[in-house]
Amino acid sequence: MTAIHVLNGPNLNLLGRREPGIYGSATLDDIARDLAARGAELGCALTFRQTNLEGELVAFVQEAGLAGAGVLINAAAYTHTSIALRDAILGSGAVAVEVHLSNVHARESFRHTSLIAPVCAGVICGFGPLSYRLGLDALAHLMAARIPNAKP
């Protein structure tokens, strides 16, 4: 079974009440439930986590990468600022896919730069909670290509 860690950064615990015009009404629990259903269809074992702390997010990435699990990451604001997160993806050898609910390229210029995108396999943004689902599908395919006989 393919192991995938879904890692969420700062303020994503506030989804549902946070700037609903941008992020919508779904909560992080709603997203976790939807991904769990899709993960089961794909034959993936999901670990779903959120933290507001940069160092903890780095530790989560290291743990996943060193265990050979795929990383689906919405690093939220740390996307745009964290060299440590980029180094953690590289250093742990994590296969990572970056996701965002909003279309960061249609927003403020400081959101146009991602420090982690260059070390991720790909980036999906702008589709609300569907970004996570699309990212999970993409990551499951990538992981399956690395692990013989794994689904899908």
Query: Contact residues for ligand DQA (CB under 6 A)?
Result: 11, 74, 76-77, 79, 100-102, 104, 111
Is residue 78 part of the annotated active site? The answer reads: no
Catalytic residue among 5, 23, 78, 132: 23
Nearer to ligand DQA, 109 or 149 (CB): 109
Nearer to ligand DQA, 2 or 50 (CB): 50
Is residue 100 part of the annotated active site? The answer reads: yes
Which of 27, 103, 91 shows the shortest CA–CA distance to 8?
27
The residues near 150 (Cβ < 8 Å, ≥ 6 apart) are: 1, 2, 43, 143, 144
The residues near 57 (Cβ < 8 Å, ≥ 6 apart) are: 7, 9, 51, 75, 78, 82, 85
Give the shortest CB-91-to-ligand DQA separation in angstroms.
22
Give the shortest CB-99-to-ligand DQA separation in angstroms.
7
Nearer to ligand DQA, 7 or 144 (CB): 7
3-class DSSP assignment, residue 71? strand
DSSP H or E stretch at residue 74: strand 70-74
By annotation, the residues acting in catalysis are 23, 100
